[in-house]
Amino acid sequence: MVADGSPADDRLLAISRAIDRWQTRLGQAVAWLTLIMVVLTFSIVALRYVFDAGWIALQESVVWMHACVLLLAMGYTLCLDQHVRVDVFYRKLSPPAQAWVNLLGVVLLLWPTAALIGFGSYDYVAASWAVSESSSQSGGLPGLYILKTLLPLSALLLAIQGLSLALKSASTLLLERSRRP
């Protein structure tokens, strides 16, 4: 999306770029967990079938890492425009029409969903923190409440990335408006 160089447009895009940079760094950092998950899964299988040994905490750590990747990379996926969308109609639209779809999608769908997840998970996470919840498995990982905290955090990250998309869309619409006679 192209800027028209106006101060308002520059500020919108500067905020959007800052959000995108931050989400990209987080997404790239979290992506390393996928490599660690592969190595750990191989180790778990080798320990189980070669040495007839295994640890519940090691198995749970793979599940926890998978949850971290899923929950912390949602905003990054939106930043890369790799989220699920029905492109049959969208790709044929003009840039201003796409901007309207994106803006309305953020305001009417993404932000309400993020709010529902964020606020809806509050009691669930708070109850977990209240009892310092840990794994129900003997030998499992402690600190399950920390993992559960990623639910509202992921909603916040997604909402922030939605702000970036909304700002880009607003910039495109302002540019289109400034081009009209």
How far, CA to CA in Å, does 161 sit from each of 37, 56, 59? 26, 35, 32
The pLDDT profile of the chain, 181 residues, written as one tens digit per residue, is 444 556 767 888 999 999 999 999 999 999 999 999 999 999 999 999 999 988 999 999 999 999 999 999 999 999 998 887 777 788 899 999 999 999 999 999 999 999 999 999 999 999 999 999 999 999 999 999 999 999 999 999 999 999 999 999 999 999 888 777 6
Per-residue pLDDT at 48: 92
Beta-carbon contacts of residue 178 (< 8 Å; ≥ 6 apart): 4, 6
Residue 99: exposure state from Cβ atoms within 10 A (0-12, 13-18, ≥19): buried
Per-residue pLDDT at 150: 97
Q: Which tokens belong to 113?
A: 């969903």
Residue 152: exposure state from Cβ atoms within 10 A (0-12, 13-18, ≥19): buried
Per-residue pLDDT at 10: 84
Q: Which tokens belong to 38?
A: 């592969």
Question: Other C-beta atoms within 10 Å of 159: how many?
Answer: 19
